[in-house]
Structure 1
Amino acid sequence: MALSATVYNFSVQLADVDRGVYEELDLRVARHPSESAEFMVTRLLAYCLEYREGIAFSDGGVSSADEPAVLVRDLTGRLTGWIEVGAPDAERVHRGSKLADDIAIYTHRDPAKVLAGLAGKRIHRAGEIPLYSFDRAFVDAAVAVLDRRNTAALSVTERSLYLDINGSDLSTPVEEHRLN
């Protein structure tokens, strides 16, 4: 018998000062049984940090071979943004960079290991792809206070992320790395 996804609700007040994005988001995030809570939190953060018109969580999520964790489509349905989470393999990153105008990777893992796993592999426009990482203790602290219904205020200023989730105040720098 297959396990079904667990749905988490997030009410997020987003204030991304760096990009001038201010929104109130009501999100339903389905956590697949094979998905870690850390991956889900990173996926939520990636969604918020990349928020723009046409953004969505992919239908397949972590189990989809054809779509990233988060994607962006324009009004015609054309894929314009490919946002990977975790430690994607080079083939997925290569495919995404060919299909979408914008591509980014967000990770809760050791960025040096993620970069090492992609180094020397064939990746279209590799030098243009940012890898963003969060401090592992930050992600662990966010996971520790998760409920099925969550209230969060997320602010980003000067590449620092401030998160008040369910009454817990957390912060981390958003480190940017580049594929070579």
Structure 2
Amino acid sequence: MALKATIFKADIQIADMDRAHYADYSLTLARHPSETDERMMVRLLAFALFAHPALVFARGLSVDDEPGLWQLDLTGRIERWIDVGQPDEKWLRKACGRADEVVVLSYGRGLDVWWNGVREKLARQSSLRVIEIAREASADLARLAERSMRLQFSIQDGGVWVTNGRDNVQIEPRWLQGGERS
């Protein structure tokens, strides 16, 4: 019998001074049985960094053809494709052909090895942006994971502060490829 996804509820407040985006979201995240709390929380961080009314969690790990998050326009065109981790270089090139913008939030062990292996192959992908989340920051973020979460994300000058009211995590995303957020 196949294992089922674990459902997490997240009420998040976003104060993004860099983009002048201030909003509250009530989100439901399905954590795939093979997904860790760390990966799920990096997906939530990706949502906060690129928050938009049309940005939604896709089926990601459950479906080969979908990222962790995506933003579609009213016609179904993919405006923004967001994935987390260390995706395959061929998969990213395919995503760049399908979406206006592709963003990867990379984190965890082996990040340097992955990036050194794909950097030159992906350099010509002008729609690709790759962001590194420090290993310590993603691990700290994972410790905030609860089945029912209330989190506040404050974003200013490229830095992110996350709190659940008891614990705080500071994240300094580092751009490996592409420009700043829009």
Instruction: Report if TM-score (shorter chain) is over 0.5.
Output: yes
Counting only pairs closer than 5 Å after superposition, residues 27-176 of structure 1 correspond to structure 2 as: 27-58=27-58, 60-109=59-108, 111-121=111-121, 123=122, 125-176=124-175
In 1, the alpha carbon distance for the partners of 2:51 and 2:129 equals 16
1:90-143 CA distance string (max 9 Å, x none): 11110111111111100222542231231343x484244221122222221222
2:23 matches 1:23: yes
In 1, the alpha carbon distance for the partners of 2:117 and 2:19 equals 30
**Where does structure 2 lack aligned partners over 5 or more consecutive residues?**
none
1:15-61 CA distance string (max 9 Å, x none): 11111111101110000001111111111111111111311111x22
Specify the code of the residue in structure 2 equivalent to 1:16.
Answer: D
Residue 100 of structure 2 contacts residue 127 of structure 2 at CA under 8 Å; is this kept in 1? no
Residue 146 of structure 1 contacts residue 166 of structure 1 at CA under 8 Å; is this kept in 2? no
The 3-state SS of whatever aligns with 1:101 is strand
User: Number of residues paired by the alignment?
Assistant: 177
In 2, the alpha carbon distance for the partners of 1:162 and 1:94 equals 32
The 3-state SS of whatever aligns with 1:34 is coil
Q: Who is 2:6 aligned against?
A: 6
Residue 42 of structure 2 contacts residue 141 of structure 2 at CA under 8 Å; is this kept in 1? no
- Aligned-pair identity in percent equals 28
Residue 156 of structure 1 contacts residue 162 of structure 1 at CA under 8 Å; is this kept in 2? yes
Residue 98 of structure 1 contacts residue 124 of structure 1 at CA under 8 Å; is this kept in 2? no
**Where does structure 1 lack aligned partners over 5 or more consecutive residues?**
none
The 3-state SS of whatever aligns with 2:43 is helix
Cα distance, 1:3–1:166 mapped onto 2, change above 3 Å: farther
Cα distance, 1:29–1:134 mapped onto 2, change above 3 Å: same
In 1, the alpha carbon distance for the partners of 2:154 and 2:143 equals 20
RMSD, aligned α-carbons:
1.8
Specify the code of the residue in structure 1 equivalent to 2:56.
Answer: A
Which is worse superposed, 137-146 or 40-49? 137-146
Which is worse superposed, 111-120 or 98-107? 111-120
Specify the code of the residue in structure 2 equivalent to 1:32.
Answer: H
Superposed displacement of residue 157, structure 1: 0.5
